[in-house]
Amino acid sequence: MSEVRRPRADEAEAVASCHIACWREAYAAIVPAHILAGADLSERSAKWRAHLADPDCFVLAAFDGPSCLGFILSGPPRDPALPPDAGHVSALYVRQAAQEQGLGRRFMAAAARDWLDRGGAALALGVLAANGKARAFYEAMGGRLIHEGLWHWQDVPLPDAHYRYDDLADLVRRGVRGT
């Protein structure tokens, strides 16, 4: 059974390693191979150290011993197109071996609860459009498609889709009930 909690500062590298592994698992057929192969652990670890030190960032991760199985990162909107009461899920990943165990639902419910506690009214997120499994999950959790466009990863344009959750209490319930 995994332990779900906020990572400690000294676990930034474990979360970064999980992040890169999840990219490679989820995006192998979507993102050019050179981008995935070039993911740098020390660079990603530095970003995670910054996230973990940022009081505006909500971070929750699942661990099996020292190994990170998945995580969520959310907080205030970084996109000026989002209203200030809409929080933003910047990243949600679960290793393939740990999927279908409810971690994603727990993560989404916890992020919704956090944003509600901050006085927020909605959550938004973006996903690569070709990631059908993630899109099905976000829709099953009550996400409403609000926009499709392009996201650039190292100057490579990739179609993306943006979802919004307007009923955070419902999102919390879905995460708790597992539906």
Mean pLDDT of 50-63: 97
Mean pLDDT of 39-66: 97
Judging by DSSP bridges, how do beta strands 86-94 and 67-75 pair with one another? Answer: antiparallel
When computed from its CA atoms, the radius of gyration of the chain, rounded to whole angstroms, is 15
Looking at residue 123, its pLDDT comes to 95
Percent of the chain with pLDDT over 70: 98
Looking at residue 13, its pLDDT comes to 98
Q: What is the pLDDT of residues 106-165, one digit of tens each?
A: 999 999 999 999 999 999 999 999 999 999 999 999 999 999 999 999 999 999 999 999
Tokens of 174: 């879905």
Looking at residue 178, its pLDDT comes to 56
Give per-residue burial for 95-127: e unless 16+ CB within 10 Å, then b.
beebbeebbbbbbbbbbbbbbbeeebebbbbbb
What global pTM score does this model have? 0.94
Q: What is the spatial distance between Cα 174 and Cα 55, in angstroms, rounded to a whole number? A: 26
**Other C-beta atoms lying within 10 Å of the C-beta of residue 88:** 20
φ, ψ at 91 (rounded to 5°)? -160, 135
Tokens of 107: 């993560």
